[in-house]
Structure 1
Amino acid sequence: MSHRLTGRSVLMGITIIAGALSPGIAGAAPAAPAPTNLTLTVHQGADTRTAVLHCDPAGGDHPRATAACRELASIGGRLQELSSRRPERLCTMDYRPVTAQARGTWQGRPIKQSVSANNRCLLRARTGPVFDF
């Protein structure tokens, strides 16, 4: 009996073996990012405001959750990059110090960071929608 292999039968055999060795690779979806759960707090004098922010998907009680998650994603969750931004809008120079704090996790990584500014306008200018609540 002759065992003659044609190019087509060899190709079909390789395809079957490759499929058996790597099940699910072709149809595997990328892993979803670890959850983001942050408690954001803004202190100014006796006034304290708090918002909860979830990302992937955006949610919580933050009024601009989608925009805040997008902003955080653009800096890889490194909040210190927000405080180093130069404001793009004009703010008065009145001195009413404000401190904002984020605690929780960004894509599973623990975060506990603070940002300070001379007034609420400067805070919003530097941090965008993240602390705008």
Structure 2
Amino acid sequence: MRYITGGIALGSALILGSLVGAGTSATAAPATAPAPAAQQSLYAPSALVLTVAQGESSTNSGVQRAVTLTCMPKPGGTHPDARGACNELRAAGGKFEDITKVKAGTACTKEWNPYVVTAEGVWEGQRVKFEHTFGNTCELKAGKGIVFEF
């Protein structure tokens, strides 16, 4: 009984829908909703794609790891410590050069096994395209900070 009732209800809905559709004239213009106003934010956008790759530059190396980092309006993305990375970037004034400095007193070998880190996107409303090459994994560990810790 349930299936018959459901079938009758479905058939009725289809018939009523076609009758309503048939009653409209072809010359009537479809109603369009007004376009929503552009959303204004109190904060400038901050959204980045961060990568770590083995090689001398981003153009000739394959990406090993990549994450997204969004700092405004709230920390997020796929970065494992989005809040810490955003705080580190804010403290550095968005200057990736300051974040990727190898800490003084770090003892690393002079072997050449380069790693490159990149950041691309928008930081506080400004386009960002940053690339830095570390000589080896020791320098990478000493200079990547929280931002490139993934």
TM-score, normalised to structure 2's length? Answer: 0.60
Q: 2:45 aligns with which of 24, 28, 35?
A: 35
List alignment gaps of at least 5 residues for structure 2: 1-40, 56-61
Which residue identity lines up with residue 97 of structure 1 in the other structure?
Answer: P
Q: After the TM superposition, which residues 16-31 of structure 1 pair with which residues of structure 2 at under 5 Å, given as runs?
A: none
Q: 1:106 to 1:118 in 2, by over 3 A?
A: same
- Secondary structure at the aligned position of 1:128 is classed as coil
Q: Once the 2 structures are TM-superposed, how far is the Cα of residue 120 of structure 1 from its aligned partner?
A: 2.9
Identity between Structure 1 and Structure 2 (%): 37
Q: Distance in 2 between matches of 1:58 and 1:120?
A: 28
Conserved 8 A contact 1:83-1:116: no
Aligned counterpart, 1:48: 64
Aligned counterpart, 1:76: 93
Q: 1:100 to 1:87 in 2, by over 3 A?
A: farther
Q: State whether structure 2 residue 134 is matched by structure 1 residue 124.
A: no
Q: 1:88 to 1:33 in 2, by over 3 A?
A: farther
Q: 1:105 to 1:47 in 2, by over 3 A?
A: closer
Conserved 8 A contact 2:47-2:122: yes
Conserved 8 A contact 1:100-1:115: yes
TM-score, normalised to structure 1's length? Answer: 0.66
Q: State whether structure 2 residue 127 is matched by structure 1 residue 110.
A: yes
Moved more, 46-55 or 97-106: 46-55
Aligned residues: 103
Q: 1:93 to 1:113 in 2, by over 3 A?
A: same
Q: Between Structure 1 and Structure 2, whose CA radius of gyration is higher?
A: 2
List alignment gaps of at least 5 residues for structure 1: 1-30
Q: Once the 2 structures are TM-superposed, how far is the Cα of residue 47 of structure 1 from its aligned partner?
A: 5.3
